[in-house]
């Protein structure tokens, strides 16, 4: 949980590129962690957008 909190400490617009730079291939992982921390409503919106 500490790793997720550390990534989420930065503004959402900045955390994803920083995560990708810090850990290769971690951009989707960081995005999923941020979405998971944000809550189920964000998951539903993302699924609706993808569909």
pLDDT of residue 39: 73
Using the predicted structure, report yes or no on whether residue 47 has a pLDDT greater than 80.
yes
* Model pTM above 0.85: no
pLDDT of residue 51: 74
Q: How far apart are CA 19 and CA 1, in angstroms?
A: 15
pLDDT of residue 2: 56
Q: How far apart are CA 9 and CA 46, in angstroms?
A: 21
pLDDT in tens, 4-36: 555 555 545 445 555 445 555 556 666 766 666
């Amino acid at each position: 949980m500490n790793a997720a909190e550390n990534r989420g400490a930065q503004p959402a617009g900045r955390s994803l590129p920083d995560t990708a730079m810090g850990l290769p291939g971690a951009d989707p992982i960081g995005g999923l962690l941020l979405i998971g921390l944000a809550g189920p409503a964000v998951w539903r919106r993302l699924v609706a957008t993808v569909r």
